[in-house]
Amino acid sequence: MCGIVGILGKSGENVLPSLLNSLEKLEYRGYDSTGIALSNGDGGSIIRVRSAGKLFNLKEKLQNMEVSGSIGIGHTRWATHGEPSEKNAHPMISTNLAVVHNGIVENYKKLKFSLENDGYIFTSDTDTEVIAHLIQRELFNDFSPVEAVQRCLSVMDGALAIAVVFADHKKIVAARRKGSLVIGFGEHVMCVGSDIGTISQLCQEVSYPEDTDIIEISENDAVFFGANFQKVDRPKHEVEHDPCHELAETYSHFTLQEIMDQPSAIRKTMLYNQNKIDESILEGVNTILILACGTSYHAGMVAKYWFEYFLKIQTNVEIASEFRYRSPIIADGTLVISISQSGETIDTLAALEYASSNGNCKTVAIVNVKNSSTDRSSNVVYYAEAGVERGVASTKAFTAQLTILASLAFCRNWFLRQQLQNIPTICEAALSIGDETREVARIISKSSSAIYLGRGNLYPIALEGALKLKEISYIHAEGFAAGEMKHGPIALIDERMPVLFLCPHNELFEKTFSNMQEVLARGKNIIAITDAEGEKNLPSDVRRLVLPTVCSAVAPIIYSIPLQLLAYYTALELGTDVDRPRNLAKSVTVE
């Protein structure tokens, strides 16, 4: 969940400005604390500056300090071991080095005991400080920096990515063990970062380390050590710059910009994949297994309705973090689809690895980041061309994922493929209801809870809408299948509880309308999201948001949009940090 970056200047220039700029791009991974460490690699001291809270606190601290260095590492923290505080902020230091870390050292207590017996003093509550002292101990035993890191990793358990700077070596040593990492090659700098967006403005080319790689980065090159600590070659890729990476002047938040960018993202996704997705991927497939977490899991739930109805293939959707712990059976002829915005979600990667190792199956990845770990672990990859999402709550990546899943589900149905082509234009019309949505958001913002109800393929969208409200407004919300309301959730209904119904005028409208009547008999705060025909049938005391009329099959994509806007405007009313909500990180890279 944390973000790491390292920059080595080729001509000895001060890398601090570039380091801070990269940390700004990493804040989506955590903002419990931030820190930097700088060195010149000439035997002088390592300068470390840390601060609790978000990056602006660190920047304010640095304004009153004269700090520079030609080699530097930085960190944005999502706290795991130890409370968010300055003493637990990375980098962690030992005598002659500093380290930043993303991941968890599972056996850190045992290692810490050994180090304390050797006289090492710990000043934090983190597992990361163990890494710093372990490497230092190996340096004192006359091992080189890269050898010291290799020996340190050999005794540690857990998934991680690290970057280390040294007081008396002009290099950065980085390592990856099931953690996201990219190495950058620039005209003036060499870099390492948690993702390509962190360092893309500094580099022209990047390489992606394989699992268990250790990388020795010097002024002019990066040497990769693979299995058995042997030197290996890793291909270089040209950096593609994303023009949507920065906030446009017309928007106050990345989240709103990304919501409004959905028509373009969907168009790009369809265009990129139009010749890649066809029914050949379904040859020999008897069962589809979808693995995902969070918002991506909701996309998978929608796909289950699509795949079973239109492809007539049994489909199971699994929460990736739970999947492998019950020893599931993977039947031959299973198509495994993993869905991950970042492609680095540790639970999804672990579930994919289990499925690949325990069954004769084909694997498909749906990701928004090229050359991610999920991408490299799958037989076939479909890219969501949504571009960078800087808001922590996923919006355009979600509808892009749905677009790919729909393209696969509709591959045998010409009519539905044509309906899908119209979605970007319909999305533009759906986005035009912002003013009406803001009025509803004012009502929701005065409540402590909300209920979202949907039927059929809109039930997962009700779950997603509730998740968005929780994520960025901090209002408790739950999504339910509308028919399940009377089996328990109806006990929550009173005159104050907002209840949102997803009810287009489709084959399930009458049943959903009956559920609405049941709620109206007990509460008065009802909001219907419907179409023009549905609006005609609504009671006068029901508030409504009216969307364009669409084919039922593609409704989940369109009906996601007002729920995203509702969450956004509710968060605005409450004054929360929309783009970086508390306790959340964009890429979940720890279990």
Q: Is 109 an active-site residue?
A: no
Query: Which is catalytic among the residues 170, 362, 468, 586?
Result: 586
Beta strands in 458-548 (DSSP E): 476-481, 499-502, 526-530, 543-546
Q: How far apart are CA 140 and CA 125, in angstroms?
A: 24
Q: Which helix (H) or strand (E) holds 76?
A: strand 71-77
Q: Does domain 433-579 have CATH number 3.40.50.10490?
A: yes
Structure token pair of residue 68: 């520079």
Query: Which is catalytic among the residues 2, 244, 361, 411?
Result: 2
Kindly list the domain boundaries of the chain, sorted by start residue.
Answer: 3-241, 249-421, 433-579
Q: Is 276 an active-site residue?
A: no
Return the amino acid letter for 396: K
Q: How far apart are CA 500 and CA 343, in angstroms?
A: 32
Task: State the residue for tokens 């907002």.
Answer: 498
Name the 3-class secondary structure at 373.
Answer: helix
Per-residue H/E/C for 548-587: CCCCHHHHHHHHHHHHHHHHHHHHHHHCCCCCCCCCCCCC
8 A C-beta contact, residue 3 and residue 75: yes
Q: Which residues of 393-415 are buried (b: 16+ CB within 10 A; e: fewer)?
A: bbbbbbbbbbbbbbbbbbbeeee
Q: How far apart are CA 375 and CA 369, in angstroms?
A: 8
Q: Does domain 249-421 have CATH number 3.40.50.10490?
A: yes
8 A C-beta contact, residue 254 and residue 224: no
- Alpha carbons within 13 angstroms on the beta-carbon side of residue 266 total 27
Inter-CA distances, 4 with 19, 37, 146, 373, 566, Å? 10, 12, 18, 17, 33
Q: Does domain 3-241 have CATH number 3.60.20.10?
A: yes
Q: How far apart are CA 478 and CA 430, in angstroms?
A: 23
Q: Do domains 3-241 and 249-421 have the same CATH topology?
A: no
pLDDT tens across the length of the chain (591 residues)? 688 999 999 888 899 999 999 888 887 777 788 999 999 988 888 999 998 888 888 888 998 888 889 999 999 876 677 787 888 888 999 999 999 998 888 898 999 999 999 999 999 988 889 999 999 999 999 999 999 999 999 999 888 899 999 999 999 999 998 778 999 999 999 999 988 888 888 999 999 998 899 999 998 899 999 988 999 999 988 887 655 556 777 888 999 999 999 999 999 999 999 889 989 999 999 999 999 999 999 999 999 999 999 999 999 999 999 998 888 989 999 999 999 988 777 888 888 888 888 878 899 999 988 877 787 788 899 999 888 888 889 999 999 999 999 999 999 999 999 999 999 999 999 999 988 899 999 999 999 999 999 999 999 999 999 999 999 999 999 999 999 988 988 888 888 899 999 999 999 989 888 888 888 888 788 999 999 999 999 988 899 999 999 999 999 999 999 999 999 999 999 999 998 888 776 555 555
- Answering whether pTM is above 0.85, one says no
